[in-house]
Amino acid sequence: MSTYLIKNTCIVSDNKNTYGDLLIKNKRIEKIAPSIETNYDVIEIDGSNKFLLPGCIDDQVHFREPGLTHKANIYIESKAAVAGGVTSFMEMPNTNPPAFTQELLEDKYSIASNTSLANYSFYMGTANDNLEEVLKTNKKKREICGVKIFMGSSTGNLLVDNPLVLGRIFEGSELLIATHCEEESIIKENLKRLKAEKEILEPSDHPIIRNEEGCFESSFKAIQLAKKFNSRLHILHISTVRELQLFGNMLPLKDKRITSEVCVHHLHFTSDDYARLGNQIKCNPAIKAPNNRTALWEALLDDRLDVIATDHAPHTWAEKDEPYEKAHAGLPLVQHSLALMLYYVQQGRISIEKVVEKMSHNVATCFDIKERGFIREGYMADLVLVDMNQSFTVSKENILYKCGWSPLEGFTIPATITHTFVSGHLAYANGIFNESVKGERLLFDRG
């Protein structure tokens, strides 16, 4: 593997900016110093007027393999991730078949080892009838990111609504439990009421059906279970003002037993955008009224929300271009998540140090990821070089997702990812991919 020397750049890590050089050798960050000279061959990269960030770690993506590869696959979506500065991902179990057994889970790891350009991990899926398989995951807690519970029927048959099973999972799992929180009974009642009032439902009805109350009640239930059993709980894609009262910021992140995630689309879009984008922004939980977005930003900046992710969930255009009730829920974002947050850096809404904290540092800390997520000597060299003065406009010509579309089309972002290193390998440079080395399986420092 080649040795690289990045010169004269602004290194952003550990809540500070350091100007200097960084040496990559044998997959790792060998040295960081104001100036580095070597007596052996290196490939030198000029980082002048650029920022060097730790690679983003996306804790929630849907890459659709196996079984749903007409929408996406691990190879293509990981390629999009790398182009967007996401060097590691954690993928959800709602594939076909779902990852309900240890064998099916390892099948996904096998696919990724042969095709993924980014580092990877996969969640164990839960159902009402696979408790024994879920608890077997305890033996692999250093090798698997977590256990995923759908507490609302967002997708397929992964809903876990048996209270006895939920209790056993929260009591018995030694891994982080990641939850999709929407209360099924509230969703069904809202849908029934709205269909009695309207002949045809529209995308703008989505946040009425999957409303604030449904999110709050489910998140509250998950937190009560976690407190009862002292479980390690991570609630995904928080989308409402009400849920924010459930989270605190008094403890250091490493000491929190209950943590939270916000997704880039809930920070960017509001219910006002359904008129323009319709089903393109139909997702679960729903994008809601503007006051929710305002509150999410406040909670992100004051550390009640710990992590930024995407919930990247691609569907074909034909699947989105259906009438509202038939249109699939989810949107593709992993290529543009970091760039979108850098747009908000340019807008003065968030600092670049805070973006790095929420998209890299905190994900590594939340999940106890081994030797990644920070720019430190000895750590794996997952790195992203960013030009904050080079803009681009999202268009079909530069979208890499297999589905071929994005709700951000036409949006101009005033920053560009120029280079991405994955475990010391220069996987992407100025629009060119080097696919000769694949990503690595994430490992976790858990006792």
The sign one gets for the Cα dihedral 53, 59, 62, 63 is positive
Residues forming a β-bridge with 351:
none
Residue whose tokens read 């790095």: 356
Tokens of 107: 């099948």
Contacts of 320 (CB under 8 A, 6+ apart): 279, 280, 282, 327, 328, 405
Residue whose tokens read 């990644």: 372
Instruction: For residue 322, count other CB atoms closer than 10 A to its CB.
Output: 12
* Domain 55-367: CATH architecture, name and number where available: Alpha-Beta Barrel (3.20)
pLDDT digits (tens, 9 = 90+) for 56-101: 999 999 999 999 999 999 999 999 999 999 999 999 999 999 999 9
Q: Which spans in 137-245 are helix H?
A: 163-172, 184-197, 206-209, 212-229, 241-244
Contacts of 182 (CB under 8 A, 6+ apart): 151, 152, 154, 210, 214, 215, 218, 284, 285
The CA distance from 209 to 119, in Å, is 36
**Beta strand segments in 172-320, E:** 177-180, 233-235, 258-263, 307-309
> Taking the CA atoms of the chain, what radius of gyration do you get in angstroms?
21
Asked if pLDDT for residue 152 goes beyond 80, the answer is no
From its phi and psi, is residue 111 left (phi > 0), alpha (psi between -120 and 50) or beta? alpha
Closest CA to 60 of 174, 154, 130, 157: 154
The CA distance from 81 to 429, in Å, is 13
Residue 323's pLDDT is 98
Instruction: Give percent above pLDDT 90 in the chain.
Output: 97
Mean pLDDT across 320-336? 98
pTM, to two decimals: 0.97
Mean pLDDT across 220-238? 98
Mean pLDDT across 408-431? 98
Residue 200, SS3? coil
Closest CA to 143 of 167, 112, 166: 112
Residue 158's pLDDT is 78
Tokens of 278: 């319709």
Mean pLDDT across 12-27? 97
Residue 253, SS3? helix
Cα distance between the two ends of the chain: 32
Instruction: Give percent above pLDDT 70 in the chain.
Output: 99
Asked if pLDDT for residue 165 goes beyond 90, the answer is yes
Residue 157's pLDDT is 65
- Domain segments of the chain: what residues? 55-367
Contacts of 269 (CB under 8 A, 6+ apart): 277, 281, 287, 293, 407
Biggest alpha carbon distance in the chain? Answer: 76
Instruction: For residue 438, count other CB atoms closer than 10 A to its CB.
Output: 20
Give the model's confidence band at 19: pLDDT under 50 very low, under 70 low, under 90 confident, else very high: very high
The CA distance from 117 to 434, in Å, is 9
